Structure 1
């Protein structure tokens, strides 16, 4: 159920109320004239209504409102109506002008009204009751200052609320943008992981399927062994896909690397490569706990993609995998004695993904042919990430 109190009033309602209040105050002062001097007839009350009506111009023409109010006060006294003070009829106009951002005009008009009232009080020798007193001067100055100050305060409060709302809106947009960037980063990470893992396993599947095809009918034991390798690789791929689907279904996916993948699993990673007949040498000089989980998982993925490329393209007989930490940096190198990349090294999708992965972690990755033949992938990563 929505409360009507929470709905702000129409601006015109506020203006009408302010106009009626101004009219009522001036009319009461006219009716309560203690001196009995001057005309207090219907024309005087029409001036009171006119002063109030001018307030309706405060949103569209605040300076025009001030000028007309000043001229109206001068005309009122020139026609000899009951005294109401020079500043009192203009209080609403002074406040409205200051509230609409015309504080200079409001203050200037108020000072002119006070000066005019003071001048006539000082120079009027015919009416002793009109002599200037300190009370009258202070009252006029106080009314002017209060009206202008209140208008400025209301305007500043409104602008502060608007700035607060703008900051809140910008903050919400920034948070939404940051959330979108995190989501996009998570999607890219999952895509890279799937590319590395599925590509690696499918390369193993293709390799051993070819071995099994050639061995069927001639070496059944070799065929069975190759099919077993195919089954293991396919099972690993399915496990990775299940883990990925689980993450994608989670309402708050973890942005940290999944599972316990790391350089400690290099022996398991190179097993299919060895089974394919490639001699693999692993030299892991990384002490346990010297790498953060994110760096450890990224190094594993880079090594996995590099070994996948060896199986797919290198036609290598030997591969060497080296990992070491020195000076707070991890150096990971995967080298082979295959045929190399040829005239356009380092242009594949897998190599681009490895470079992107290293770059996101503040590292670098180089890939290219070796002078003595073969191909090398070298990653330089920070051992830990700043918290």
Structure 2
């Protein structure tokens, strides 16, 4: 169960006080018993106020715990010098409290300054040692809690990533199924029907010149199905040229844009090195994510922005590849800019440790900037 900030602070305070108090209490009782035994042996059984000594020592424990409980959990975050100064001062105050209680309980007379000074410093030393153990315990608890929270966040990220992948797989399957069931199936059904009519006439021996034209039309129709529908459906699953590299896949994508739209592709030398087919440093997943960014930005520019110029730039940004796509379309302004596809893409990038920024000004185009992390750069960096 994850603790809230107040609950965590309360638990840290109790850990600090319990550890410090336990160590000081053990020292206090042990020291008082040892002192009573030594004095009794030296004084041949003379009575020593053991109870008064223990009470004075426990008073110092209470004073130290009160000071630590007041601001103790805040001190580690304020720097080591402030922590050391506070603990030193608190230990001295606890020692003064012990010395005063010893005078009050009759353990020493007020004029036994040397004995009181020795007891004061010994009490302060015990307080310092106990506080060091207490703060070490508290910091250990905080470090362990941070590790647990980090592991929990990592598990959440893994679960979100798996959910996103499953959602993306369902979406792609649905689009492929709709494409096959819709345009491909409809075109093939019509072609089969026309072939049936042609076969029927051939069976009757009444072939007409128009039937040759029908065969030519059927061939053209099947070629359209093969080239447009089936290849488009295939690209939903895997972009062209992706096996060769990210840059060739993006270049193939831009080549399919109508010639009425001008396109520019700029690739930094560092990115060409990363994408070198002879020694590629980009994984297939990283290539695919970068291509999907360009694909989504180009699709929106053509569908919504009515762009006449699209410019793609690939550069290196520390441990990532930066993909920038700009178009001179109408922009989206205050209208809902990021389409659902862009939102899904932003989620995928975020889960991969990247980001996607989209900016647009009405009448002044749209710019999409994505940062795609590269695992090999992170490991080598």
Q: TM-score range by the shorter chain?
A: 0.3 to 0.5
Greater CA radius of gyration, 1 or 2? Answer: 1
Q: Which has the higher helix share?
A: 2
Higher relative contact order (CA 8 A, sep 6+): 2
